[in-house]
Structure 1
């Protein structure tokens, strides 16, 4: 309970890597026989964490219920100090978080580089084929009016465009600074919204922003007819989902379960569970995760 309260405090306070860390030293209280799950504070991350959690429980591993902590700037320090033991993350974004100078862009290269820069107390499980990449998106009307297919096409219009995205995207290595460097794109202004969520989608659809950072597996992309601008200069690296965990909890049993989940988790499957979670009935994420595990023969996954 103390750990849960501390993690909720992180989410409320928006802990950053450069700020004070109220979780420091929390790992000493961690039960060596229990996996404490964490996630980002958006649906897809919470869904994958729930899939990990149920798969591990089905194999007889004790797991604390997943806690949605916040952005990477909040949950990664919690992982490092042992307040949580396991988090689903994205290979390219995590690599650039740990090494802002990283130049790798393709899946295998990104994963190999990530393994080299992870702190020694952490380990990455097998990456899944599933990718959810950041992408700059516009409405169909904007794409047609400005004849936009790629980020190169956007460059002449950047000075007239209000861009929307998460607060972190404004300073992340592959965010606004990289778009300026790679595409000579300096936007008229930046509106700080959420991480690929309803605020950003609504602002884009309503015309409050004319371009935005959204995620490629978001059902809202197809539902709203949004256009993903091509990225010929590979501003956005590969973003394969990968479990990251504290090394002392990465037993053969735990890593075996996670590897089996990763092998089944494709981009199409990721989009499917996101679409199911966003459906009109709004099923519980726990239910969506259980259904996915059953469909993929991973329910009750005891070795």
Structure 2
């Protein structure tokens, strides 16, 4: 998603009102309201974690994960302030480094390439080990989950058939007529246009910076030929999009992982590591579908999963 995560947020962003751009206010770190985007509050109590500020990126899955973390900590007695919908990685990492938030849901591979653009590891454990070394002083990653959501390049069935597409490098033969849609930050990221050129020699003739449902609609309507979409995005199955193979692992592995301020790590790790131990890809994809397609409230979806997992 361009963990960039979208992999264009597409249908996801349209369905969760609190995650529409940076909260709509002049202050991107102003607490969001409403269950889906989070609200400041939580139980008071004697938890060792005390008061915790949890942030998220500006796409629904990230806020859903933030809500899961928040409710898990509240169940252990922490007071939680939700600062969801901050923006892209370039923005929300400044928030955690500056102390505006204490916890962020992140993705191992995307975060690693942000901090270490020269990294070439792609396997989950190797990526996690490298990430532990790459995060700057003052920040720590807790246990990664097996749940994974990563960037992909998707096309319609018609385009896949017309251009005989099975994998990303197949796009090179058609790049003269290739228009690619993705979030704006995809243009300058290694897991984006930079990597498409260096790894696959694919340079789209046109890049269209798109957010939210606009990406999915543009792909459906033929306004773009390929789109950057998260692999857990329900729009892929709903529209029969074809996710192209990534034989050189440009997008690598991207396991969900809590990024926390080091001074909070000891107090938070037992609870958040327990969440990571239970979370897997099918569960994550199902929860995203419930929020986006079934229009369920994100806080209720998180509550139900935590209860079923024995975490709340």
Q: Write out the 4+ residue segments of structure 1 that deviate beyond 6 Å after TM superposition.
A: none
Out of 152, 172, 194, the position equivalent to 1:155 is: 172
State the shift of 1:7 in Å: 11
For the pair 1:223 / 2:238, whether they are aligned, the reply is: yes
Structure 1 pair 117/187, CA: closer, same or farther in 2 (3 Å)?
same
For the pair 1:84 / 2:74, whether they are aligned, the reply is: no
Please list the CA deviations of residues 250-272 of structure 1 after superposition, one character each: whole Å capped at 9, or x if unmatched: 124x2111011001111111100
For the pair 1:127 / 2:144, whether they are aligned, the reply is: yes
State the shift of 1:283 in Å: 1.7
Please list the CA deviations of residues 224-250 of structure 1 after superposition, one character each: whole Å capped at 9, or x if unmatched: 100000000111121000000101111
- Give matches, 1:193-232, under 5 Å: 193-194=210-211, 197-232=212-247
Report the equivalent of 1:264.
Answer: 278
Please list the CA deviations of residues 101-127 of structure 1 after superposition, one character each: whole Å capped at 9, or x if unmatched: 111111111111111011110110100
Please list the CA deviations of residues 189-223 of structure 1 after superposition, one character each: whole Å capped at 9, or x if unmatched: 000002xx311111111111000100000011100
Report the equivalent of 1:288.
Answer: 301
For the pair 1:97 / 2:114, whether they are aligned, the reply is: yes
Q: Which runs of 5+ in 1 are unaligned?
A: 13-31
Distance 1:39 1:97 in 2: 17
For the pair 1:251 / 2:254, whether they are aligned, the reply is: no
Report the equivalent of 1:21.
Answer: none
TM-score between the two structures when normalised by the length of structure 1: 0.86
TM-score between the two structures when normalised by the length of structure 2: 0.84
For the pair 1:279 / 2:293, whether they are aligned, the reply is: yes
State the shift of 1:11 in Å: 3.1
For the pair 1:185 / 2:202, whether they are aligned, the reply is: yes
Structure 1 pair 7/77, CA: closer, same or farther in 2 (3 Å)?
farther
Please list the CA deviations of residues 160-216 of structure 1 after superposition, one character each: whole Å capped at 9, or x if unmatched: 11100000001101210110111111111000002xx31111111111100010000
Q: Please state whether the residue corresponding to 1:75 is helix, strand or coil.
A: helix
Distance 1:7 1:250 in 2: 31
- Compute the RMSD of aligned alpha carbons: 1.8
- Structure 1 range deviating more: 258-267 or 150-159: 150-159
Structure 1 pair 103/245, CA: closer, same or farther in 2 (3 Å)?
same
Q: Which runs of 5+ in 2 are unaligned?
A: 1-21, 30-48
Report the equivalent of 1:19.
Answer: none
Distance 1:6 1:293 in 2: 26
Report the equivalent of 2:123.
Answer: 106
Distance 2:179 2:190 in 1: 20
> Are 1:131 and 1:266, in contact at CA under 8 Å, matched by a contact in 2?
yes
Q: Please state whether the residue corresponding to 1:11 is helix, strand or coil.
A: coil
Report the equivalent of 2:19.
Answer: none
